[in-house]
Amino acid sequence: MADTVEDMLREASAAGTALMAEGTLARSARYHAARAELEITLANGASVAIPAHLIEALRDAPIAARSEVEIAGIGYGLHWPALDLDLSIPALLSGIFGTRRWLDESRARTAGRATSPAKSAAARSNGTKGGRPRKADPKTP
């Protein structure tokens, strides 16, 4: 724990240097309208392209607003002034593209479309049983 302001500054500087070395800070970012992708170039030279439809806050945003992306701070985040939106680079690199609820719904949609021989066999087996039971009529006593 830092005792003085100088100690705090040294610790903060060391933490910033570590972030730069990890490559988890953005050097540049831009939105490619033709590909509908957000491209981020990291401090270590690596580039990442994320389809805009995967990012909750960008999915329905106008193209002009998507294109106004700025690097926030020392590169820890991205900022869209027109959308009043801030996203962290470590979260994006970890695959966190929205709120927990939105991510869960997105995963559920993907899982529901999955097919496998076991899923097909179970559907055939359930079909021979007459399908889903009918809901009870609330008017019937």
Sign of the alpha-carbon dihedral angle for 121, 125, 131, 132: negative
* pLDDT of 91: 87
Higher pLDDT, 22 or 101: 101
The pTM of the full predicted model, rounded to 2 decimals, is 0.61
SS3 label, residue 137:
coil
Tokens at residue 11, please?
A: 């610790």
Contact 48, 39 (CB under 8 A): yes
What pLDDT was estimated at residue 20? 63
| Superfamily name with CATH number, domain 22-109 | Uncharacterised protein PF10387, DUF2442 (3.30.2020.40)
Each residue's pLDDT tens digit, 35-87: 999 999 998 888 999 999 989 889 899 999 999 999 998 898 999 999 999 99
Please state, rounded to an integer, the average pLDDT across all residues of the chain.
83
The highest-confidence range among 13-17, 67-71, 96-100, 134-138, by mean pLDDT, is: 67-71
- Domain locations in the chain? 22-109
